[in-house]
């Protein structure tokens, strides 16, 4: 089972910031938080990952709480092309570095 | 700078036939992962391979499914005697090392009639 909990769906107005929360209360000290998105039925697209510090790249920002039990992905200026299912993944290291996907958050950006 | 390539993109098979799905990782990547996605569900890990070795096949069904990643050529996911329940999207991902992020291909959509 996935170690993360995300809201099933969210709406966001175009041009506004989209804040997608993720709960991972059982995360271990050496586990990273990864975010991917899947647009329509395409292959998942890597967005960002972090361990305990906040991270930013050209696509998004990742804010991880100090206790590491939750995080928020921020898309600063959402566009219609950001409509997708967003997956928050805790990288479980059980022999290998496989991903365990949950059901994700279906983000709909509204014009 | 080609990404992960998968072919065919769409595959139709009748029950009992064999399906072969191919995956070419990104240049320089020697770690390959296969995932399956049923309609309206998240991706499920199937198998992790390095060149010529299966590292983790904990997500693979015990029968009919096999995977390989030969020294030369793409990784192959093979499904023998397909059944309707095998209809799904199959995604391949690759990474530079097992600790790096995985990059996914566009997937192969298998339909079993």
CA B32 – CA A7 distance, rounded (Å): 30
List of chain B residues whose C-beta atoms are within 8 Å of the C-beta of residue A34: 101
Quote the pLDDT of residue B94.
96
Residue B90: its H or E element: strand B88-95
Q: Which residues pair with B103 in a beta bridge?
A: B94
CA A62 – CA A52 distance, rounded (Å): 10
Q: How, if at all, do strands A105-110 and A84-90 pair?
A: antiparallel
Tokens of B36: 């399956």
B34: pLDDT strictly greater than 70: yes
Report pLDDT digits (tens) over A41-67.
Answer: 899 999 999 998 899 999 999 999 999
Quote the pLDDT of residue B2.
74
Looking from the CA of B35 toward its CB, the CA atoms found within 13 Å total 23
The answer to whether the CB atoms of A41 and B59 lie below 8 A apart is no
Q: Which residue of A has its CA nearest to B104?
A: A43
Quote the pLDDT of residue A56.
96
Tokens of B14: 């009748």
List of chain B residues whose C-beta atoms are within 8 Å of the C-beta of residue A51: none
B83: pLDDT strictly greater than 90: yes
- Is the torsion defined by CA of B47, B48, B50, B53 positive or negative? negative
Confidence of residue A91 (pLDDT cuts 50, 70, 90): confident
CA B38 – CA B84 distance, rounded (Å): 12
List of chain B residues whose C-beta atoms are within 8 Å of the C-beta of residue A32: none
* DSSP H helical ranges for chain A: none
End-to-end CA distance of chain B: 37
The answer to whether the CB atoms of A42 and B106 lie below 8 A apart is yes
CA A38 – CA B31 distance, rounded (Å): 21
DSSP letter for each residue of A9-21: EEEEETTS-EEEE
To the nearest whole percent, how much of chain B has pLDDT over 70?
A: 99
Quote the pLDDT of residue A53.
85
Residue A43: Cβ-neighbour burial (10 angstroms; 0-12, 13-18, 19+): buried
Specify whether the CB–CB gap between B13 and B110 falls below 8 A.
yes
Segment B48-60 shows an average pLDDT of 92
B30: pLDDT strictly greater than 90: yes
């Amino acid at each position: 089972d996935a170690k993360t909990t995300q809201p099933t769906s969210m709406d966001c107005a175009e041009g506004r910031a989209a804040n997608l929360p993720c709960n991972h209360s059982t995360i271990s000290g050496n586990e990273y938080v990864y975010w991917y998105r899947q647009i329509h039925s395409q292959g998942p697209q890597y967005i960002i990952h972090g361990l305990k510090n906040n991270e930013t790249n050209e696509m998004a920002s990742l804010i991880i709480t100090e206790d590491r039990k939750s995080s928020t992905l921020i898309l600063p200026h959402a566009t219609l092309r950001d409509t997708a299912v967003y997956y928050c993944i805790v990288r479980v290291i059980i022999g290998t570095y496989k991903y365990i996907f949950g059901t994700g958050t279906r983000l709909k950006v509204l014009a | 700078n080609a990404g992960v390539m998968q072919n065919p993109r769409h595959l139709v098979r009748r029950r009992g036939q064999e399906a072969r799905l191919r995956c070419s990782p990104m240049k320089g990547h020697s770690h390959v992962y296969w995932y399956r996605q049923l309609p309206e569900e998240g991706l499920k890990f199937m198998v992790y391979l390095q060149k010529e070795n299966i590292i983790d096949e904990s997500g693979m069904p015990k029968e009919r499914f096999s995977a390989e990643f030969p020294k030369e050529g793409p990784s192959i996911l093979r499904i023998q005697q397909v059944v309707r329940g095998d209809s799904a999207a199959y995604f391949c991902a690759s990474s530079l090392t097992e600790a790096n992020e995985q990059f996914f291909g566009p997937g192969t959509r298998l339909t079993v009639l």
